[in-house]
Structure 1
């Protein structure tokens, strides 16, 4: 038992020893493994530390780049916001008070925003970010609801994620509210035109004392203080203003005054600002007041009626309207609807009382002194060439006593205008102002102008291209100046307008239209601008009882009666209407001129008993669209439209916008003799095919709207010869030279033969110049004097007799003073019993059929008759004639009019008749040849 026990103990000892050894081995292995793991962890930790350091370094580098880029973007954004703030609140609207002074806005510039302080980020107290101007909108945009609920409520509102959507609680206006309102009003008054803002202040608590600095405005009618109990009347009056403006000013044409201002460049109504400083703290509005307030909040801004509200309550639905901006004051800070409560506004300190009072006094004095004289720029629209003339033409010509622009209108009523005023009262300047104002509003597709000036001057020449200024007014189709001795040109214009009337009437009939607006609607692709013809000193055209005056009066009466429906309008200007015999007995024509414009001391322009023209001051005019009836008078100050920098600048600008294919206006200057080298018709002549072509011999410049040349077609028909009649040698030589040069331009060298016969010593120099010019052009030209004239006529007549029916090379005989060789021409050859006159008759009779034409000058009609056979001679051999200093009665044998044409000779004018094309003679201007310039 004992041995067994010992064995068991030994066995247990061995087992334990083995277990201990095994455990020691395992523990040693574990310790080794742990040591290895500890070393590995240390290595990993060291590597991780190195990687972390590299990552931190890279992150720091990247963060620095990001911070620099972000700072750059923030600075750029701040600069842009600052620039935008300056742009939106320029001048007095945004200047610091230490540098503040009133500034007038640019013409037609709409009101912008107004500065109230500087922006602060919501979580920034010290304002470390760039301080940006904080702005609010008032005029033409919104109303303002101003609150000062106390420090705790304002701070609670700022902590909210967004401005409170609930209806605000009204509080009695505090001192901060009054200071804020005064600051804002001063910025508004200082950045608008004096007199363009009218204030109404309802302040039952302080009785206007908080805004007493603006009291001087009351002297000029720009400020009204309303006492307790007057709120209802204030609201009712403003609602009535909104109704009136919608009905009579906007009248459905515009949705708001700001749209009218943008479209026309003028604002016919002032801004009306009502400052409503209520009692707050339980003061209630009646239902009627609540309703009126709601109407004003909804409709006021469109009509220039704006509210600054504080302490009016209890607040109703009107305070939720989107056009009602909200400003919540918090000490010297605030938040606004424009910024939201994500940003605070550090309010500007209020301006000094002296600054507000001085500014108010200056504004009142300016308004009491009356409006500034009108300037031409005031007549121009904000955007040019945007208006349609389908229904009418309307444009301002000056400013009324209230500073508003006074318009003239041409359409169905009134259709035409009479302008009157003695010399020196500004009639031409008024026409300049009207033309410029119309041209700026209507494009050349909408308006065509025809300008004619019968006085001795070049008032309208500025609208055509000149030597110093190549520009022209794109609307002008024709300009006539210095036409006081060329009434035929005025008659030609009336005839042209009459033709335009006929064409429009036919087009309207085809489209079943009764007036221009309907025709344009039916034919949108057609060119149907309104036509305005301005005729200054028109009484010259109607002076006397001759054929020109009678025909002009007839055409004027028809245009005045029927022109309105086809968009053709007349503006007749004169010193007055007295002494115009052609108008007597034509009361129906005068009655069509219902637009009357009377300058100082004008007579017989306005209706009898209307003496406004006697009292109107200088540089002013009475504009009356009701035939001069006194109730329709409107007095306008007419700006200086003729000085440099006004109408000329506008013309340059519009000329730059013209259609590149547009032709310049036709200019007729009665005081200037046109040069042959400048004639467009001469430049257009080129050699043509032979022998089928019919050449044209030009003789002078026509006095009509085309501005073209008159000429004789030298066909192979009988009588295709030209007789120049009169004793003015220089002009006769110019006519023959014009005919020869123009004929030469139509033939190649050698294709035509010229024979110059000079029988007057006074014409030798001119004839020699022509001879040399033709020869220099390569043409065959022969010279003959008294000794050779008979031989030339005999040889030419013999060639015609022997040539049969085959036409030879064209032969043009240019004969100077044929009657000077009368003795030689009448001598008969003893052998043949023929004289040179007989040969001359053969040349005249048969020559044209064989392409031989005589262009001859006779110094009187009787001498031409002698060369043709005496008293019984016929003038059929001359199908065309041109008379210089020859009385109309002397031309009776050559004319189809009994007793001869109505013609009084004058220098550098000729009467031309071509029986092949003319019904009656027409007046032309003989060209000066290039050498005589």
Structure 2
């Protein structure tokens, strides 16, 4: 007898160890591969059921043989089962009602098990779970009708709380209480079927199953769950959950339809929850005296959860109904990211998703030889900036900075693209961005500078392609593998501002755009233009060929004139959606895309920091041009060839210098050029006639800043002598502070003016700085002689006159020649008033604006250029 007992003990021990080992192995595999949790959901669910079965058998065997000797082993096994339960019923599927809240499911994720109560096993407690969605039907029976209905309410609330609003359509057949049993779910708009509607309802479900099998699954997939998993997207059909609250047995005619649904419904997303009728093919839940048992948990007693409070059900259903009315929420930016960043080559084009389609699959947008350029349209507030963020994030996650270079320009008032550059709150930047321009709605010249830069790049690539006998970028990259030839994408938001009016800026911009659109495709330069409406842009009239190059059209809700005239898709799409059309907007090529919320700063920062940390060595931060920021005067350092401002990164060959302008002659820095590179505007002061400067206008602070930046930059280039005169009270403080900073400077007042305007030959340059020279009394003849003869003797006048007529008066009157002024900077002076000083007939098209100036150097410029006067801080700190 003892030997038999010992053998039985060893058998039980072996069974317990084997069951525990199986459960631990599955648990370890599930936890170490959470990324594959959806694929293994069914495996975990089966392991949970197997573990419970073995636990019950082991418990019974242990009690019948050696009573509680191996209870510790069984408790360990129960702990493993509890861990498995947490994996296959996360969040709202298993949390207690006191802590319960809905859980947003993962995209394409498969639903798990649902809690109905708990199983108590000595010192271990685990949730009791049952399958439903994509897994089973339920048949609930028992001796307590209220408890049975409470189980059904709890299962429904958990199923709805673990799916998105609208993913489950609920129907209730309640002939006894006419819908009152589950009335708390009414805000969801569920369908109640009365006593006479059972037959038609079952017929409708059978027809629905037939349709799904024929048109959706079509023999390619065995179930909607398999289809959803294969496409990693949203379900093509919602689940249909039908609650049948029978008070009697089902009639034979209806029983046949019911059996068909029980056999084929789960694969097609149709699930029955049946009360009061015995059926085959459903998961059974039996309620007796406040406890329950299920097919999954075996005969282990379940302590049933109390029914969820009716007010909690109603509040959840109202919230879900409100979300359903608002339409589907935007997708996540993370959904657009590939598994591995920077794994694509741009040699043959760029392809990246911007959102998901109606079937849940990502919709990819191409840029390459066809289509080469994109046009984005939508009214204010429709989400253009968000769409651009999503597209750029998707592109930058797939192509590394050597494959893709970005130039970004935003003409609306705002800093949409500033987040891609280093800032005071975030030091990271998007490694692909070479240039970002923000707040440039008043600086159309910067947009023109960008187009000129792209035009230069186009010519460089065309010349390289010619040398290598290549016709497109892919061939050039194959022939010149060591070259730096990334695809360039230039995004210009609200580009209609650049083309506003019929002035020289708009005319040149259209010409450059047309050339880039026509020839850019073969050299890997792509334009993305965004606007509210292109129909009213005067500069495009008669240039239909330009817009015709933009064959990729993306229309946001209520967009006008982006798609073809007979294509009305943009008028009916909801918020967070767009129409993507790669065939110039013709109706047959529409793709409807749901866009992610890419404007969320936290989501974007997560992606940007990931890319920034992976940036290659030597990757420099992008250039940020902010039209609302006044640049500070750079720190100057001496150089053998003159000077270079360390902060600006310019060279002696910058604008304002040329062999004809004096070669290595000293250069006065007057402000920053509005250009792709942050370079100073400089005036060479050689020995040629006319090497003097006139600052024109009444803005005191800016005039003083220009004179100060010129003097400080000249002082940094070697020995020089400065003479300063100022009789205007508003400017005397600035002039005095400048004198204090200059190494060799004399201050002249009214009694010294005769000596000031004497031209004395010297070995070192002499610069006369005149603050409001039109206010200096007398000595006009001496001033004119200095302007005419001084440059040849290395004496140069840098003077400020408050208007052009006052300058002419000082130079001899209305008929006087102005040749002595070879360069000028105009502040608040209208373009027409500058006609006598400029070769442009009628004067330049200049409309004064704050902290901007018009600079013209007769020896360098054909037309004046706009510059930004520096902010000059004379404080020693």
TM-score bracket for this pair, using the shorter chain length: 0.5 to 0.7
- 2:350 alignment partner, one of 391, 394, 409: 391
| Separation (CA, whole Å) in 2 of partners of 1:434 and 1:597 | 10
How many Å apart are 1:627 and its aligned residue? Answer: 4.8
- 1:920 alignment partner, one of 852, 863, 866: 863
| Separation (CA, whole Å) in 2 of partners of 1:106 and 1:521 | 45
After superposition, the C-alpha distances for 1:113-166 in whole angstroms (9 at most, x for unaligned) are 42589999xxxxx96684655778887xx967999xxxxxxxxxxxxxxxxxxx
How many Å apart are 1:772 and its aligned residue? Answer: 1.4
| Separation (CA, whole Å) in 1 of partners of 2:441 and 2:166 | 48
Q: Could you say which residue in structure 2 is the equivalent of 1:909? A: 852
How many Å apart are 1:588 and its aligned residue? Answer: 1.6
Q: Could you say which residue in structure 1 is the equivalent of 2:738? A: 770
Q: 1:920 aligns to what SS in structure 2? A: coil
Figure out how many residues of one structure are paired with residues of the other and give that number.
Answer: 739
Indicate yes or no: 2:779 matched with 1:824: yes
After superposition, the C-alpha distances for 1:286-312 in whole angstroms (9 at most, x for unaligned) are xxx9xxx99x99xx8xxx9799999xx
> CA 1:184/1:533 → structure 2, altered by over 3 Å: closer, same or farther?
same
Q: Could you say which residue in structure 1 is the equivalent of 2:176? A: none
| Separation (CA, whole Å) in 1 of partners of 2:445 and 2:204 | 75
How many Å apart are 1:707 and its aligned residue? Answer: 3.5
Native 8 Å contact 1:727 1:885 kept in 2: yes
| Separation (CA, whole Å) in 2 of partners of 1:347 and 1:510 | 83
Indicate yes or no: 2:556 matched with 1:623: no
Q: Could you say which residue in structure 2 is the equivalent of 1:89? A: 89
Q: 1:741 aligns to what SS in structure 2? A: helix
Indicate yes or no: 2:724 matched with 1:756: yes
Alignment of 1:847-866 (within 5 A): 847=794, 852-860=795-803
After superposition, the C-alpha distances for 1:567-604 in whole angstroms (9 at most, x for unaligned) are 52322213x4454221211112233445253554x654
| Separation (CA, whole Å) in 1 of partners of 2:650 and 2:327 | 59
How many Å apart are 1:788 and its aligned residue? Answer: 2.9
Indicate yes or no: 2:321 matched with 1:378: no
Q: Could you say which residue in structure 1 is the equivalent of 2:213? A: 238
- 2:627 alignment partner, one of 644, 647, 670: 670
| Separation (CA, whole Å) in 2 of partners of 1:920 and 1:73 | 91
> CA 1:225/1:917 → structure 2, altered by over 3 Å: closer, same or farther?
farther
Q: Could you say which residue in structure 1 is the equivalent of 2:447? A: 490
| Separation (CA, whole Å) in 2 of partners of 1:221 and 1:746 | 89
> CA 1:528/1:789 → structure 2, altered by over 3 Å: closer, same or farther?
same
> CA 1:145/1:734 → structure 2, altered by over 3 Å: closer, same or farther?
closer
How many Å apart are 1:549 and its aligned residue? Answer: 1.4
Q: Could you say which residue in structure 1 is the equivalent of 2:15? A: none
Indicate yes or no: 2:543 matched with 1:568: no
How many Å apart are 1:221 and its aligned residue? Answer: 13
Q: Could you say which residue in structure 2 is the equivalent of 1:829? A: none
How many Å apart are 1:531 and its aligned residue? Answer: 1.6
Native 8 Å contact 1:473 1:651 kept in 2: no
Indicate yes or no: 2:136 matched with 1:191: no
> CA 1:383/1:604 → structure 2, altered by over 3 Å: closer, same or farther?
closer
Q: What TM-score results when the alignment is normalised by the length of structure 1?
A: 0.62
Q: Could you say which residue in structure 1 is the equivalent of 2:555? A: 597
- 1:434 alignment partner, one of 387, 396, 399: 387
| Separation (CA, whole Å) in 2 of partners of 1:135 and 1:723 | 86
Native 8 Å contact 2:811 2:817 kept in 1: yes
Q: Could you say which residue in structure 2 is the equivalent of 1:557? A: 514
How many Å apart are 1:636 and its aligned residue? Answer: 7.9
Indicate yes or no: 2:807 matched with 1:843: no
After superposition, the C-alpha distances for 1:620-662 in whole angstroms (9 at most, x for unaligned) are 7763636555666788888987xxxx62323443453353666
Native 8 Å contact 1:489 1:704 kept in 2: yes
Q: What TM-score results when the alignment is normalised by the length of structure 2?
A: 0.65
Indicate yes or no: 2:787 matched with 1:815: no
How many Å apart are 1:737 and its aligned residue? Answer: 0.5
Q: Could you say which residue in structure 1 is the equivalent of 2:300? A: 346
| Separation (CA, whole Å) in 1 of partners of 2:476 and 2:117 | 60
Q: Could you say which residue in structure 2 is the equivalent of 1:443? A: 396
- 2:374 alignment partner, one of 416, 422, 436: 416
| Separation (CA, whole Å) in 2 of partners of 1:273 and 1:810 | 90
> CA 1:195/1:688 → structure 2, altered by over 3 Å: closer, same or farther?
closer
| Separation (CA, whole Å) in 2 of partners of 1:549 and 1:416 | 20
Q: Could you say which residue in structure 2 is the equivalent of 1:17? A: none
Q: Could you say which residue in structure 2 is the equivalent of 1:581? A: 538
Native 8 Å contact 1:116 1:348 kept in 2: no
Q: 1:796 aligns to what SS in structure 2? A: coil
Q: Could you say which residue in structure 1 is the equivalent of 2:29? A: none
After superposition, the C-alpha distances for 1:746-773 in whole angstroms (9 at most, x for unaligned) are 44xxx43322233655533321121112
Q: 2:104 aligns to what SS in structure 1? A: coil
Q: Which moved more, 1:817-826 or 1:181-190?
A: 181-190
How many Å apart are 1:490 and its aligned residue? Answer: 2.3
| Separation (CA, whole Å) in 2 of partners of 1:355 and 1:649 | 35
| Separation (CA, whole Å) in 1 of partners of 2:218 and 2:478 | 33
Q: Could you say which residue in structure 2 is the equivalent of 1:543? A: 500
How many Å apart are 1:874 and its aligned residue? Answer: 7.0
| Separation (CA, whole Å) in 2 of partners of 1:796 and 1:413 | 68
Native 8 Å contact 1:725 1:883 kept in 2: yes
Q: Could you say which residue in structure 2 is the equivalent of 1:653? A: 606
Indicate yes or no: 2:269 matched with 1:269: no
Q: Could you say which residue in structure 2 is the equivalent of 1:788? A: 752
| Separation (CA, whole Å) in 2 of partners of 1:634 and 1:197 | 26
After superposition, the C-alpha distances for 1:187-212 in whole angstroms (9 at most, x for unaligned) are 655522243357999xxxxxxxxxx9
Native 8 Å contact 2:117 2:305 kept in 1: no
Indicate yes or no: 2:683 matched with 1:712: yes
How many Å apart are 1:553 and its aligned residue? Answer: 1.6
> CA 1:543/1:115 → structure 2, altered by over 3 Å: closer, same or farther?
closer
Q: Could you say which residue in structure 1 is the equivalent of 2:873? A: 930
How many Å apart are 1:488 and its aligned residue? Answer: 1.5
Q: Could you say which residue in structure 2 is the equivalent of 1:175? A: none
Alignment of 1:115-126 (within 5 A): none
| Separation (CA, whole Å) in 1 of partners of 2:314 and 2:333 | 31
User: What 5-or-longer segments of structure 2 have no aligned partner?
Assistant: 1-68, 140-149, 173-180, 245-249, 251-255, 275-280, 638-643, 653-662
User: What 5-or-longer segments of structure 1 have no aligned partner?
Assistant: 1-68, 121-125, 148-178, 202-211, 280-284, 311-324, 337-342, 800-807, 827-834
